[in-house]
Amino acid sequence: MVTRCGQVDGFYYFAYGSCMCPVDLKRSLGENTHDYVVGPAYLLDYRLGFFRYSSRRQCGVLDITPHPNSIVHGVLYHLPHYLSAGLDRREQGYVHHRVAIHCRGQQFPDTRTYTVVDKLNHECAPNDWYFDVVMRGAWTCGLPESYCWQLFNHMHRLQTQLAV
């Protein structure tokens, strides 16, 4: 449904893992999601971690946890409501969480993101495929270069520890 201002009636969604990549999100939702990207965004007082093992992806996948003075960068989408159920299916093992996101000099106080329900007590390394999708989304959607390198190094360090 389109509102009087021409915007799609929907919800804001903050992606910080593989959903940052609009191509991968399209694979799950069956619709081109590039047009729904609002822009690079960030969440204060949280940090990233690989606290879930995905049997579907056969590797560790990203999660966020509260952590003072930390920041998680990601992508803010404005998705139509009819994609909500598909997003929930994609995010099995996660639960909706409402957060305040900062994007393009504005705050979006009622933004949906997902957090892992049953967190591991240690981080589990991503596989190469997941690693690539996360990095592709981060670069494609314009996350800060320093954050991209931090993300790259974190995933590489987890993979290297696993190989030892």
> What is the DSSP secondary structure assignment for residue 58, as one 8-state letter?
T
Tokens 């990207």 label which residue?
Answer: 37
Identify the pLDDT of residue 9: 86
Identify the pLDDT of residue 4: 38
Between CA 74 and CA 93 the distance in angstroms is 20
Identify the pLDDT of residue 8: 61
Beta strands 106-116 and 94-103: pairing type?
A: antiparallel
Identify the pLDDT of residue 106: 97
Scanning 3-144, the segments in alpha helix (DSSP H) are: 22-29, 84-90, 128-140
Report the largest interatomic distance among the alpha carbons of the chain, rounded to a whole angstrom: 58
CA trace torsion 110, 18, 138, 97 (10° rounding): 20
Entry pTM: 0.92
User: For each of the chain's 164 residues, which pLDDT tens digit applies?
Assistant: 343 344 568 999 999 999 999 999 999 999 999 999 999 999 999 999 999 999 989 999 999 999 999 999 999 999 999 999 999 999 999 999 999 999 999 999 999 999 999 999 999 999 999 999 999 999 999 999 999 999 999 999 999 985 54
Identify the pLDDT of residue 163: 56
Identify the pLDDT of residue 7: 55
